Structure 1
């Protein structure tokens, strides 16, 4: 699985970007919230990714924040919401706006997103209730590649982004990846 890409931003054509990673160009679909915050062409960019393999395609979706990626992953787990629809939702609403709509049970805000009908909006409100909202928790404050790798490893092991963020806060700032993972797992086991 591809969890993160770091390279030069070669092309920008919404919602698709091309990231050149040591000579290999990765086409990555991003929500508009990520697209508008990308650096200029030729500049270095780091995207957290979600890789989707289907019978007829392999797609890579990218996000600037762990919060966006975890929300995307929650959305695609809902019946009737595929990656394109999840991308559309995150392009039409920020994560905090989506959380507010879910907390207030406002289907009207969701129906305004292209591709979301009344039934899908109601399903989103039902399925995301309690999973998204003011208690969503801050994303992990990643300040180094080592910390990003630690968070990725914890998420890959089945911990939520929220749990990974909490474990990361307890670690020394200069910890290495393998030692950080060990310490984080000990902290999470308590």
Structure 2
């Protein structure tokens, strides 16, 4: 299993990145909570990974720290939760917010996430409440405010249309329907917003 990757961040296309390790490029899917913490393109990055092998694909999922990866691993053990839905859950709320929702049996908060209906939310609470108790003493994962350099990938001038399209594409990849993704982006967009801050605000608006 590939548990950690350290290399040069080559591309950032939320929710995916490309990391170069000794000439080999690894495509990694990340929840947005981890994506926001990435350095600029061209800098070194360390990503904790979970490797998924399917009949039709081999996929790498990456996280900013072991804690978030551990929560992801518990999530995908739950009935009806695959890696894609696990990624969407950890993009829609931080690990600490998800833990609080499960421990407090806050079904309404979970239902606000893409792909989570009421029955699924109730099942997650039942299945995960005891299993996630070991994470109970965790400190909230701090998501630092993104700098303009980080958001622009280091040296990229952001185009308004491309920023909106990128944000919509990211939301769709996380499980939102196209019309819903477009509506969320339009509801939070203001002049000059870059794609990652636009995604962040759209996800907040969905809760």
TM-score between both structures, scaled by the size of structure 1: 0.70
Partner of residue 14, structure 2: 14
Partner of residue 38, structure 1: 38
* SS of equivalent to 1:132: helix
Separation in 2 of the partners of 1:42 and 1:2? 22
* SS of equivalent to 2:131: coil
After TM superposition, give the deviation of residue 103 of structure 1 in Å. Answer: 1.1
Partner of residue 100, structure 2: 100
* SS of equivalent to 2:132: coil
Partner of residue 65, structure 1: 65
Separation in 2 of the partners of 1:122 and 1:14? 29
CA separation of 1:21/1:135 partners in 2, compared to 1, >3 Å: closer, same or farther? closer
* SS of equivalent to 1:45: strand
Partner of residue 47, structure 1: 47
Separation in 2 of the partners of 1:103 and 1:4? 29
Separation in 1 of the partners of 2:6 and 2:124? 32
Larger RCO: 1 or 2 (CA < 8 Å, sep 6+):
2
Separation in 2 of the partners of 1:97 and 1:28? 24
Partner of residue 164, structure 1: none
Checking the alignment, whether the CA contact within 8 Å between 1:50 and 1:69 is kept in structure 2 is yes
Partner of residue 78, structure 1: 78
Separation in 2 of the partners of 1:77 and 1:135? 16
Separation in 1 of the partners of 2:53 and 2:134? 32
Separation in 2 of the partners of 1:58 and 1:130? 30
Checking the alignment, whether the CA contact within 8 Å between 2:50 and 2:61 is kept in structure 1 is yes
Large movers: runs of 4+ above 2 Å: 130-139
CA separation of 1:4/1:135 partners in 2, compared to 1, >3 Å: closer, same or farther? closer
* SS of equivalent to 2:72: helix
Residue correspondence of structure 1 range 157-172 to structure 2 within 5 A:
none
After TM superposition, give the deviation of residue 135 of structure 1 in Å. Answer: 5.0
* SS of equivalent to 2:78: coil
After TM superposition, give the deviation of residue 108 of structure 1 in Å. Answer: 0.4
How many pairs are equivalent? 139
* SS of equivalent to 2:115: coil
TM-score between both structures, scaled by the size of structure 2: 0.65
Long gaps (5+) in structure 1:
140-190
After TM superposition, give the deviation of residue 132 of structure 1 in Å. Answer: 2.2
Checking the alignment, whether the CA contact within 8 Å between 1:99 and 1:134 is kept in structure 2 is no
After TM superposition, give the deviation of residue 129 of structure 1 in Å. Answer: 0.8
